[in-house]
């Protein structure tokens, strides 16, 4: 297993649209394992392949305190069950240190393949619904800062660029 580098906003590679996974093979499984290790180490509750510069439709999530409820979503599809807006203070491993309120539909149905390539389906609300929508946005090249005002987004961008320059 390996901890992978997480791309940070405004890296243009975060804007690529991920391609579907054709077959869930050994390469996919190794990537899923590395994504879990990377997410747990960060620590975070979700990670999309896009964030580690792999542009395939793969997401890992674990909302549990004990880090023992791994959820793998391959080629996920979402249907809105309840469009009523719900707000949540979102953060992102690709936008480190910033938390902002984002509005999303409150309840969704998720269809995806699991790590064995089996089709799974479940309904989600609360934090799980937030997280799944946040991760699918990554696969479509979208970040939570895109829901903020231009002024806020630019301010975050400039602060992160400054941090990244001082690290490099």
Catalytic residues: 135
- CB atoms under 10 Å from CB of 11, counted, come to 14
C-beta of residue 76 within 8 angstroms of C-beta of residue 31:
no
Spatial distance between the Cα atoms of 96 and 159, rounded to a whole number of angstroms? 10
With b for 16 or more beta-carbon neighbours within 10 A and e for fewer, the 25-41 pattern comes to eeebeebbebbbbbbbe
Q: How many residues bind ligand GNR (CB under 6 A)?
A: 17
Peptide bond into 10 cis (omega under 30): yes
Q: State yes or no: residue 92 binds ligand GNR (CB under 6 A).
A: yes
Provide, rounded to whole angstroms, the least separation between the CB of residue 158 and ligand GNR.
20
CB-neighbour burial class of residue 61 (10 A; exposed 0-12, middle 13-18, buried 19+): buried
**Contact residue for ligand GNR among 48, 71, 129, 136 (CB under 6 A):** 48
**Contact residue for ligand GNR among 32, 47, 132, 145 (CB under 6 A):** 47
Provide, rounded to whole angstroms, the least separation between the CB of residue 12 and ligand GNR.
17
**Contact residue for Ni ion among 4, 18, 92, 108 (CB under 5 A):** 92
Q: State yes or no: residue 73 binds ligand GNR (CB under 6 A).
A: no
Token representation of residue 88: 């949540």
Q: Which residue lies nearer to ligand GNR by CB, 48 or 145?
A: 48
Residues 137-166 that bind ligand GNR (CB under 6 A): 138
CB-neighbour burial class of residue 51 (10 A; exposed 0-12, middle 13-18, buried 19+): buried
Among the listed ranges 8-16, 18-26, 65-73, 126-134, the one in contact with ligand GNR (CB under 6 A) is 126-134
Binding site for ligand GNR (CB under 6 A): 44-48, 51, 88, 90-94, 130-131, 134-135, 138
């Amino acid at each position: 297993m390996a901890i992978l580098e997480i791309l940070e906003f405004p890296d243009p590679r975060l804007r690529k649209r991920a391609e579907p996974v054709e077959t869930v093979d050994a390469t996919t499984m190794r990537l899923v394992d590395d994504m879990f290790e990377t997410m747990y180490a960060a620590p975070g509750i979700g990670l999309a392949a896009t964030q580690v510069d792999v542009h395939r439709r793969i997401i890992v999530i674990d909302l549990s305190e004990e880090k023992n409820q791994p959820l793998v979503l391959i080629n996920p599809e979402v249907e809105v069950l309840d469009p009523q807006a719900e707000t949540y203070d979102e953060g992102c491993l690709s936008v480190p240190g910033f938390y902002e309120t984002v509005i999303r539909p409150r309840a969704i149905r998720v269809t995806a393949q699991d790590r064995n390539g089996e089709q799974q389906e479940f309904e989600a609300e609360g934090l799980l619904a937030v997280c799944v929508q946040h991760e699918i946005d990554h696969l479509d090249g979208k970040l939570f800062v895109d829901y903020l005002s231009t002024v806020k987004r630019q301010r975050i961008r400039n602060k992160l660029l400054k941090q990244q320059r001082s690290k490099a």
